[in-house]
């Protein structure tokens, strides 16, 4: 089978540091931090009272009251990010058969806050069920993809991927495969999450996965730092329009970059902890490089999963060191979660966008909040700390790992 080349022709983002791609990218390069006190609910009794929330967002600017009643916040973010990406790509019925456009959009949790609010109202009421008639479609993770397809008339494959914090990476991989195997010429892919809510925050708090550095929130997310104590919850969405190269060229599309390979693996180890030696992470990066027809020495940069959890960062760093050997000193890596927090199922979508723009502009955004080197992390790793770095690059990997041992790596190429 002849494989098609897959390029990126549209980008869209709603993030804690910018509600458009241009604002997001500008903030990343400047090292802007999205942390703040939780405003979505009263977190005063929680051990973690900080999060990276989307700023200056008013649903009434984008949805009327009747429509917003049907949409959980994670779906709203997905719609806005996809609207930007689709408009950016200039895909229209005049240049594309909309029956041949697929939508694959991931979410790790879906409408958890809508579900919580409805159940809480029932539990504190008189026992009479008075549920919102839209509660089921509000909470289902696949409804973000469904709304995107209905909004734009896309009648290709349409579904959600759920693999915890690797969900949107898996969505990108699925769309990539549809296009490169010649099944459909265009795929709208990405992911969304809006889990700054009592059950999600409380659940991750109970697992001791989140930072409790409330009094020092602007430096609380510290990927690869010796004193990291967990991630900061983030929220938002990212979207990419993937397109067969010939289709994109035929309609004179703007091209941001190219996807040339992907790798998937499972740790087969633990429900929440990563493999202590980074076995699954190493395997999926190795498979991605092989899929792209490359050698480890061809990779110029890695946008790491880098959550700021003690076990996760050590495991990923070990996997990179074992796979790339001496090349690690020539291959800068970073973690943008130091600025955006952890968007869970939406994280790998905005990180894919960051990786594409890193290659396009030759700028690696920094990993902020580094104070002390971790002796368990290879000192030869070239981690870009505090300030963005200019570097001409051709190939970069974006990593995503999720609870359950789900691992995904995607290889991007400068176009």
Q: Output the 3-class SS for 19-64.
A: CCHHHHHHHHHHCCCCCEECCCCCCCCCCCCEEECCCCCCHHHCCC
Q: Count of alpha carbons within 13 Å of 235, Cβ hemisphere only?
A: 28
> Cβ(304)–Cβ(407) under 8 Å?
no
For the question of residue 305 being annotated catalytic, the response is yes
Tell me the average pLDDT across 79-83: 98
> Cβ(226)–Cβ(372) under 8 Å?
yes
Interacting residues of 123 by C-beta distance below 8 A, sequence separation 6+:
none
Question: What is the distance between the terminal CA atoms of the chain, rounded to a whole angstrom?
Answer: 24
pLDDT at 1 over 90: no
CA-CA distances (angstroms) from residue 362 to 67, 299, 331? 41, 14, 13
Report the distance separating Cα 214 and Cα 209, nearest Å. Answer: 14
**Diameter of the chain by CA atoms?**
66
Predicted pLDDT of residue 229:
97
Tell me the average pLDDT across 62-86: 96
The catalytic position among 152, 247, 275, 342 is: 342
Report the distance separating Cα 180 and Cα 291, nearest Å. Answer: 12
Tell me the average pLDDT across 218-226: 98
> Cβ(156)–Cβ(100) under 8 Å?
yes
pTM score, two decimals? 0.97
The catalytic position among 165, 239, 262, 284 is: 165
| 2 confidence band (pLDDT: 50, 70, 90) | confident
Q: How many CB atoms lie within 10 A of CB 211?
A: 25
Residue (of 159, 182, 142) closest to 102 by Cα position: 159
Q: What is the mean pLDDT of the chain?
A: 97
Name the token pair of 227: 């004193």
> Cβ(399)–Cβ(281) under 8 Å?
yes
HEC sequence for 127-181 = CCCCCCCCHHHHHCCCHHHHHHHHHHCCCCCEECCCECECHHHHHHHHHHHHHHC
- Partner residues linked to 383 by β-bridges: 333
pLDDT in tens, 292-336: 999 999 999 999 999 999 999 999 999 999 999 999 999 999 999
| 365 confidence band (pLDDT: 50, 70, 90) | very high
For the question of residue 342 being annotated catalytic, the response is yes
- Give SS3 for 211: coil
The percent of residues above 90 in pLDDT, for the chain, comes to 99
Predicted pLDDT of residue 6:
98
For the question of residue 165 being annotated catalytic, the response is yes
Report the distance separating Cα 26 and Cα 17, nearest Å. Answer: 9
Report the distance separating Cα 211 and Cα 230, nearest Å. Answer: 4
DSSP E strand boundaries for 198-234: none
Tell me the average pLDDT across 59-82: 95
Long-range CB pairs of 311-316, under 8 A, 24+ apart, other chains included: 311/273, 311/274, 311/276, 312/274, 312/401, 313/223, 313/224, 313/228, 313/374, 313/377, 314/374, 314/376, 314/377, 315/274, 315/275, 315/276, 315/277, 315/278, 315/281, 316/274, 316/278, 316/281, 316/399, 316/401
pLDDT at 242 over 80: yes
Give residue 376's Cα distance to chain centre: 26
pLDDT in tens, 99-127: 999 999 999 999 999 999 999 999 999 99
Tell me the average pLDDT across 29-33: 98
Tell me the average pLDDT across 170-183: 97
pLDDT at 268 over 90: yes
Interacting residues of 112 by C-beta distance below 8 A, sequence separation 6+:
139, 195, 197, 199, 200
> Cβ(109)–Cβ(140) under 8 Å?
no
Name the token pair of 163: 């693999």
Element housing 349 (H / E): helix 347-361
Predicted pLDDT of residue 49:
98
> Cβ(170)–Cβ(399) under 8 Å?
no
- Partner residues linked to 188 by β-bridges: 103, 241
């Amino acid at each position: 089978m002849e494989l098609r080349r897959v390029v990126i022709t549209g980008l869209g983002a709603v993030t804690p540091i910018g509600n458009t791609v241009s604002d997001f990218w500008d903030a990343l390069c400047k090292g802007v931090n999205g942390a703040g006190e939780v405003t979505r609910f009263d977190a005063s009794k929680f051990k973690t009272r900080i999060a990276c929330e989307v700023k200056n967002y008013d649903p009434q600017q984008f949805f009327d009251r009747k429509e917003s009643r049907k949409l959980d916040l994670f779906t709203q973010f997905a719609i806005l990010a996809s609207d930007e990406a689709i408009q950016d790509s200039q895909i229209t019925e005049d240049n594309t058969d909309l029956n041949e456009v697929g939508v694959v959009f991931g979410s790790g949790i879906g409408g958890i806050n809508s579900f919580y609010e409805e159940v809480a109202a029932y539990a504190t009421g008189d026992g009479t069920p008075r549920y919102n008639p839209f509660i089921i479609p509000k909470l289902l993770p696949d409804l973000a993809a469904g709304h995107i397809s209905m909004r734009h008339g896309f009648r290709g494959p349409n579904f959600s991927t759920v693999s915890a914090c690797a969900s949107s990476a898996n969505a990108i991989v699925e769309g990539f495969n549809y296009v490169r195997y010649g099944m459909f010429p265009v795929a709208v892919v990405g992911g969304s999450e809006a889990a700054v809510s009592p059950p999600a925050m409380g659940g991750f708090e109970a697992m001791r996965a989140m930072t409790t550095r409330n009094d020092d929130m602007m430096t609380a997310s510290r990927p690869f730092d010796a004193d990291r104590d967990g991630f900061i919850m983030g929220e938002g969405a990212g979207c990419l329009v993937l397109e067969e190269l010939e289709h994109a060229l035929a309609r004179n599309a703007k091209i941001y970059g190219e996807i040339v390979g992907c790798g998937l693996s499972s740790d087969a180890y633990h429900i929440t902890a990563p493999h202590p030696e980074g076995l699954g992470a190493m395997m999926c990066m190795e498979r991605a490089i092989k899929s792209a027809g490359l050698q480890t020495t061809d990779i110029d940069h890695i946008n790491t999963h880098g959550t700021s959890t003690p076990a996760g960062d050590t495991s990923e760093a070990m996997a990179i060191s074992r796979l790339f050997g001496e090349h690690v000193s020539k291959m800068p890596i970073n973690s943008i979660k130091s600025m955006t927090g952890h968007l869970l199922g939406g994280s790998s979508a905005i990180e894919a966008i960051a990786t594409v723009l890193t290659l396009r502009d030759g700028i690696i955004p920094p990993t902020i909040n580094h104070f002390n080197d971790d002796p368990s992390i290879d000192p030869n790793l070239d981690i870009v700390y505090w300030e963005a770095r200019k570097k001409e690059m051709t190939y970069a990997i974006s990593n995503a790992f999720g609870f359950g041992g789900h691992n995904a790596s995607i290889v991007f190429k400068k176009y």
